[in-house]
Amino acid sequence: MYPWLSDTYEQLISRVKKHSLHHGLLIQGVDGVGKSDFCVHLAKSILCKSDENHACGQCQSCKLYEAQSHPDLYRLETDKQVGVDLVRDAITKLSTTSQLSGNKVLIMEAADSMTDSAANALLKTLEEPTDNTYLLLISSKSEALLPTIRSRCEKVTLSCSKSDDCIAWLKAQGIDSIEPKLLKLYQNSPLTLREHLAKREGLTYASFLENLDSLQHKHNSALQLAEQWQDEAPQVVLWMQYWVADKIKSKLQDNQKVWDFHHRLLEYYQTLQNPGVNRILVLCAVLNHVVDLN
């Protein structure tokens, strides 16, 4: 269990044995905060046959869970939209009697990708759940869910509100010298930050700042940096948004030109999502704005 999620986890599992846990939980939060891992741990505790709050790891249920063969756990995962047939199949399984005479759990990844037909099929189960049945719906974009689905679930928002916990965890993963500002840049999502640092040995936020400083002091040209950064173009624009916003908040530069640039960056980012776009030209435009801020 990730340390920044432990408080929320403890609050929920304490309600399991009291039979006061809501049957439909909407587990929401930004990507990279650990929603799926949270649901895996929560489901194991819900299914555990012991009287303890935490999963005991010794009962038949826990052993079947660890072997990934628990008959009362259903995981709905797909790379595409969650269609009505998948949901109906899951509902059929949930409507049967528990094979271990205990609780039943459905974990649905990317619940916000459900089609309207799938959501409507799930609605009846949320309105009239069978006994001892729990639905864990995972979403990074809960606003995309039908309002009727959202209103029938208890919302559990996961976040990394304590940056110290996240930084300590990253350090334990061998990632040192992480500043709160860098974590904030990644929406306080430690897993996303770890993935980014693992993938990229080239551009870092520190080197990005150094190069911007060189550009503003004319030790670099916009074209040189654009060519150097073209493979990381979307990331560069996201960092640029944070860099400009930080200047505005710090009142280092508080004029209309800076505000206009901040708004334009969203347009540049959207342009970079188009296949075949000339990234060098887009980055040159962005970096020329930086030069104009001087």
Helix (H) or strand (E) holding 289: helix 279-292
Q: Give the span between the Cα atoms of 136 and 127, in whole angstroms.
A: 15
Alpha-carbon torsion, ordered 56, 59, 65, 69, to 10 deg: 180
Helix (H) or strand (E) holding 75: strand 73-76
DSSP label at residue 219: S
- Tens of pLDDT, residues 138-190: 999 999 999 999 999 999 999 998 888 888 998 888 777 677 877 887 788 99
- Tens of pLDDT, residues 24-56: 999 999 999 999 999 999 999 999 999 888 899
* Sign, CA torsion 249/251/256/262: negative
Helix (H) or strand (E) holding 46: helix 35-47
Q: Which of 25-39, 121-135, 237-251 has the weakest average pLDDT? A: 237-251
Helix (H) or strand (E) holding 92: helix 84-94
Give, in order, the Cα–Cα distances in Å from 29 to each of 40, 60, 94, 290: 16, 32, 26, 33
Q: Give the span between the Cα atoms of 110 and 82, in whole angstroms.
A: 8
List the beta bridge partners of residue 114: 82
Per-residue pLDDT band for 251 (boundaries 50, 70, 90) equals: low
List the beta bridge partners of residue 24: 135
Tell which CATH architecture fits domain 3-157: 3-Layer(aba) Sandwich (3.40)
Residue 252 has pLDDT above 60, yes or no: no
Residue 199 has pLDDT above 90, yes or no: no
pTM metric for this prediction: 0.74
DSSP label at residue 129: P
Domain-wise residue ranges, the chain: 3-157, 200-292
Q: Give the span between the Cα atoms of 145 and 112, in whole angstroms.
A: 5
Q: Give the span between the Cα atoms of 218 and 179, in whole angstroms.
A: 28
List Cβ neighbours of 93 (8 Å cut-off, separation of 6 or more).
74
Q: Give the span between the Cα atoms of 89 and 275, in whole angstroms.
A: 37
Q: What percent of the chain has pLDDT over 90?
A: 60
Q: What is the pLDDT of residue 37?
A: 96
104-108 and 24-28 strand pairing: unpaired
* Residue entry with tokens 């074209």: 223
Q: Give the span between the Cα atoms of 287 and 177, in whole angstroms.
A: 27
| Residue (of 98, 192, 138, 134) closest to 13 by Cα position | 134
Give, in order, the Cα–Cα distances in Å from 68 to each of 36, 63, 148, 149, 181: 15, 9, 32, 28, 39
Q: For residue 134, how many C-alpha atoms fall within 13 Å in the half-sphere facing its CB?
A: 30
Per-residue pLDDT band for 239 (boundaries 50, 70, 90) equals: confident
Residue 281's φ and ψ, nearest 5 degrees, are -65, -40
Q: Give the span between the Cα atoms of 130 and 150, in whole angstroms.
A: 19
